[in-house]
Structure 1
Amino acid sequence: MTELTAEMIQRGRGGADPAEIARRRRLAQDVRAARERLTSSTGLQRAFDYELVRLFSQYRLGAFVPQIVLAAAIAAMACAFIAAQAAALWFLAVTGALAAMVMLSRRFLTQAAEDVDVAVWRRRFVLGEMLQGSAWALIVTVLLATDQPAARIFVLFVLLMVAAVTAMLSATIPIAVYAGLVPVAVALIGFFTPSREIDALTMALMGASAQLFFIFLAHRLYSSAVATLESRAEKDALFAELEEAKANSDEARRRAEEASFAKSRFLATMSHELRTPLNAILGFSEVMKNEIFGRHVAPAYKEYADDIHASGQHLLNLINEILDLSRIEAGRYELQEEAVPLAQVVEECQHMLALRARARSLTIREAIEDNLPRLWVDERALRQVVLNLLSNAIKFTPQGGEVTIKVGWTAAGGQYISIRDNGPGIPEEEIPVVMASFGRGSLAIKTAEQGSGLGLPIVKGLVELHGGGFTLKSKPREGTEAIVTFPPERVMDALAPVPSAQSTIPDERRRSAA
């Protein structure tokens, strides 16, 4: 039974092609992303604006304690060049700036995302970063009065360290990086440029080059953060689509189960409702056809009775085939397995259809291997398989044609049945059609009598229930060959022998008994 999918349900309701649906979904996503970029202050999606500011706040909160420790260490080392009171004042200024940034970050993170004005908070953080950079740069003002050469190296070391920390912690808001680095750059210029010594100018050049490197590093970190957010957004969108597809699949499965239950209930009801009047129609039409109660006054009545009986028989066969196929597809066809000689069943079926073959002047040739062991199969199902294939071959073979039946061993040790005719054949692209329920090939419709189109699906289902295989080979104007194979496990000779009671006696006991 073909599995019902969400795509099939959508198409059955007149929905668009899946490729068109996917194109529309991508277009809607592109339009939504473009609209968010236009309404964003950074050119990204609005959700990214909030996430970048949130990352900035988290970085600043996490770095508060290490920065306090760093400021304390710098203040302690500055005592070697300046008075302790001046170093303490500088430390308090830096601590205040850091505390102000922490308070801003905590306040931002405690607010709900939908209540946050990202542009306002970005401006606040930029001002806080500028205040923090200015506090760090005050080290230059504190050390400006000293003329010791080591003080210059110390100032350069401190300012470069501050610039590196600012670039890494503020990278998610690029303008905040510039706001934090401007006071540091001004302090470097103000501290080194008044001196005309080559060492001072070299240090100033090193500081400027380092500033450019830190700006480049900040941009790289910003790009990496944006790429990470985009990847996460795509992953979330993919998860959402997967959830939607799963929901559609569950809905399709539920509808398929409901449809299968409704079909089974309908067939169970209609089989009884149709068979009861059909039995009466067949019985009475047979009585009239055989003229049991006397000859008909008009000869046409006998012909009408023949037509009624034939039509009723055809309808009864169709009902039986539909019910068989329904049970097979639902997995409710119970096999009554027993040891059956395949060659004998084929010969009996050929004998049953011999009259029909002679009426069409057909020649039936047999090639059956001798001494084939029995198969462990359902005899009724096997007989139905052979009758369906053989009747199809006779039906589709033209007058004076030939049908060949072969029965023998497979290469794997199983057994096979091959029924070949020289009828009109089936185009290769139509083989899946004739294998489907109620499917019929174009050439068969033109050249053969009408049928239900259920014979081959029933054959395929019954063979698969036995673990076998069914293959249909055909070419136009060359004929058709149907091959049914049964696995070695179905051959009785392949079964392991049952050990007897005497074979279980150990050899030692046998020898001692002797």
Structure 2
Amino acid sequence: MSTGVSTSTDKIIVDKSRSHRNKAVSRTVRATRDRLQIATGVSPGFEREMMQLHVGSVAQSALAIPVVVMLIAAGGVYLTQEIGLVAWAVLALTMHAIGMIVAHRARAREITAENVRRWQRGFLVAQVFMGLAWVAFSLQTCGSCTGVTFDFYKGSALLVALAVTAMSTLMLRHAILCAFLPTVAVLIVLAVLAPAPGTVGMAAIITAAMLFLVFMTHRLRYTSAQLLSSQSEKDDLIAELEVAKSMSDEARRRAEEANLAKSRFLASMSHELRTPLNAILGFSEVMSTEVLGPLNNPIYKEYTSDIHRSGQHLLNLINEILDLSRIEAGKYDLAEDSVHLVDIAEDCIGMVQLRARAKNITISEQVESGMPAVWADEKALRQVILNLLSNAVKFTPQGGEVVVKAGWTAGGGQYVSIKDNGPGIPEEEIPVVLSAFGQGSIAIKSAEQGTGLGLPIVQAILAKHNGEFILKSKLREGTEAIAILPAKRVLESLPAVSETHAVAPRRKSFA
């Protein structure tokens, strides 16, 4: 990836140049949906696909009808010695050629949803011409034949022709009716005019076979339409997945570029802001302590204290943002050592004691004695407990109480609990305050607002220790924050205890 000012600037701009890559896919999705949204019958899209399948079937079975015709003619000449069957064969092959010409033109030209009906009519007309050939065959007579031999021959030949036609025209609606309805009509008329057993039987069998094949081809055609519909639905899903994947890839690319831009910005701000802040903090502390001489105006001394306090607050905010950025980037490494959780908690209580006294807040300590050391990052745990204590003192009203507990968990780990009797947090706002830069309604109304990064940092640090953070709160009753370290972090493991295990904590009270 190239670097440079212009490139870095462009990375935070929404890239709209890739939208054209999805146009073809979106067009396919819309076309497939339009085709699938037709409620009744077969949609024009499916009619077109079925017509293309029919054209392919005609091309593949081009020799089937001529072979059947020649076999029928050869068998008839052999049985009856009637040369007229040869003339009939020439007529049948001519009619079949008409259908092949129509199929050849359909393959040479594109079949669209607009002209599919015209091509259907063309193929049905070709079937009508072929039907005239079968009518001519059904009218064939044999003067030298006796009994029902010739009728059996004609009936068998028509059944074979009917089956072959049904197989080759499965995707063409009404093809069997167009090809054999005239033949059936002629056979019925012959059976009525000359009710011989052979003629009547042949007419009945051909009629029943035609009706059965019409029904079967209709069902098969419907099944084919369902298969085409399923294929279209699959294509639709694949197209939508392609669109979603393309959008996801674009969103991920933009997120990665935005994250890179953020990291560069924070790295730059770390240097650009900390350098002047250190000078501001140093000089303001020198002025407030009057190291170089007294300040004649007491208001100036008050101003220097305000400058130092504000600079320190700004530096803390910058450190929090950088800590969260390092955690998100996976660059927050733990310096683990053997530490005592109770000792860290007591040190943090001492650090916030001055602020608590200013608000007349009592901090009570209830810890279990004899707790072994844990394997953890002391600085990180100090930051966790200090953040939780600071929040408790910040939101506890004048004259309130903060209770700090430390002890064993039921699973053999260790925990620190910090509970206040402040205004509490609404239940629906707990996910908000646990998110980065999230602040609840109580915090927004408070005079001491922060960045909203304290709790997310606490969560992330405990997660790095394979621990857990639990936040419990009720409106007008208070909030309890619990930091838990797992049993594998304890250097002297103890067996798990039940939830109701009674412990005699030692208590301290800081007023």
Equivalent in the alignment of 2:107: 109
Task: For residue 289 of structure 1, report the CA deviation from its aligned partner.
Answer: 1.6
- Counterpart secondary structure, 1:477: coil
Task: For residue 165 of structure 1, report the CA deviation from its aligned partner.
Answer: 3.4
Task: For residue 61 of structure 1, report the CA deviation from its aligned partner.
Answer: 2.9
Q: TM-score, length-normalised on structure 1?
A: 0.81
C-alpha offsets along residues 66-116 of structure 1, whole Å, 9 cap, x if unaligned?
545544544454346421644444445444544554454355335556799
Q: TM-score, length-normalised on structure 2?
A: 0.82
1:51 and 2:49 correspond: yes
Query: How far apart, in 2, do the equivalents of 1:374 and 1:188 lie?
Result: 105
Per mean C-alpha deviation after superposition, the further-off stretch among 311-320 and 290-299 is 290-299
1:434-449 → structure 2 map (5 Å cutoff): 434-447=433-446, 449=448
Query: How far apart, in 2, do the equivalents of 1:412 and 1:25 lie?
Result: 58
1:381 and 2:380 correspond: yes
Task: For residue 352 of structure 1, report the CA deviation from its aligned partner.
Answer: 1.8
Equivalent in the alignment of 2:183: 184
1:394 and 2:384 correspond: no
Query: How far apart, in 2, do the equivalents of 1:223 and 1:115 lie?
Result: 19
1:248-267 → structure 2 map (5 Å cutoff): 248-267=247-266
C-alpha offsets along residues 284-312 of structure 1, whole Å, 9 cap, x if unaligned?
11122222333333322222112111111
Equivalent in the alignment of 1:151: 150
1:78 and 2:84 correspond: no
Query: How far apart, in 2, do the equivalents of 1:73 and 1:439 lie?
Result: 87
C-alpha offsets along residues 402-448 of structure 1, whole Å, 9 cap, x if unaligned?
22222223333322222211111111110111111221111233346
Equivalent in the alignment of 1:287: 286
1:480 and 2:479 correspond: yes
- One-letter identity of the residue aligned with 1:232: Q
Equivalent in the alignment of 2:132: 134
Query: How far apart, in 1, do the equivalents of 2:323 and 2:305 lie?
Result: 27
Query: How far apart, in 2, do the equivalents of 1:493 and 1:109 lie?
Result: 84
Query: How far apart, in 1, do the equivalents of 2:111 and 2:168 lie?
Result: 22
- Counterpart secondary structure, 2:80: coil
- One-letter identity of the residue aligned with 2:172: I
Query: How far apart, in 2, do the equivalents of 1:125 and 1:29 lie?
Result: 27
Report if aligned partners of 1:439, 1:453 keep a CA contact under 8 Å in 2.
yes
- One-letter identity of the residue aligned with 1:464: A
Task: For residue 267 of structure 1, report the CA deviation from its aligned partner.
Answer: 0.7
Query: How far apart, in 1, do the equivalents of 2:218 and 2:466 lie?
Result: 65
Equivalent in the alignment of 2:166: 167
Equivalent in the alignment of 1:362: 361
C-alpha offsets along residues 11-66 of structure 1, whole Å, 9 cap, x if unaligned?
x99xxxxxxxxxx99997699559x98xxxx9855433331111112222333445
C-alpha offsets along residues 151-193 of structure 1, whole Å, 9 cap, x if unaligned?
3233333323433433343232214333222333234334433
Q: Paired residues, what number?
A: 469
C-alpha offsets along residues 465-513 of structure 1, whole Å, 9 cap, x if unaligned?
2222222111111211112222233233469xxxxxxxxxxxxxxxxxx
Change (3 A) 1:184 1:417: farther
- Which ranges in structure 2 are unaligned for 5 or more consecutive residues? 1-13, 16-25, 495-511
Report if aligned partners of 1:424, 1:478 keep a CA contact under 8 Å in 2.
yes
More helix by proportion, 1 or 2?
1
Report if aligned partners of 2:82, 2:142 keep a CA contact under 8 Å in 1.
no
Query: How far apart, in 2, do the equivalents of 1:335 and 1:243 lie?
Result: 42
Change (3 A) 1:458 1:31: closer
- Which ranges in structure 1 are unaligned for 5 or more consecutive residues? 1-11, 14-23, 496-514
Report if aligned partners of 1:137, 1:159 keep a CA contact under 8 Å in 2.
no
Change (3 A) 1:411 1:67: farther
Query: How far apart, in 2, do the equivalents of 1:181 and 1:196 lie?
Result: 21
- Counterpart secondary structure, 2:369: coil
1:27-66 → structure 2 map (5 Å cutoff): 33=35, 45-66=43-64
Report if aligned partners of 2:92, 2:134 keep a CA contact under 8 Å in 1.
yes
Report if aligned partners of 2:44, 2:113 keep a CA contact under 8 Å in 1.
no
Tell me which of the two structures has the higher relative contact order, counting C-alpha pairs closer than 8 angstroms and 6 or more residues apart.
2
Change (3 A) 1:120 1:265: same
Query: How far apart, in 2, do the equivalents of 1:61 and 1:123 lie?
Result: 18
* Identical positions, percent: 48
1:242 and 2:264 correspond: no
Equivalent in the alignment of 1:404: 403
Report if aligned partners of 1:166, 1:181 keep a CA contact under 8 Å in 2.
no
Query: How far apart, in 2, do the equivalents of 1:284 and 1:98 lie?
Result: 106
- 1:121 maps to which of 95, 119, 122: 119
- One-letter identity of the residue aligned with 1:454: L
Change (3 A) 1:273 1:207: same
- One-letter identity of the residue aligned with 1:270: M
- Counterpart secondary structure, 2:425: coil
- One-letter identity of the residue aligned with 1:105: A
- Counterpart secondary structure, 1:480: strand
Change (3 A) 1:101 1:363: same
Query: How far apart, in 2, do the equivalents of 1:348 and 1:468 lie?
Result: 21
Change (3 A) 1:469 1:184: farther
Query: How far apart, in 2, do the equivalents of 1:143 and 1:420 lie?
Result: 110
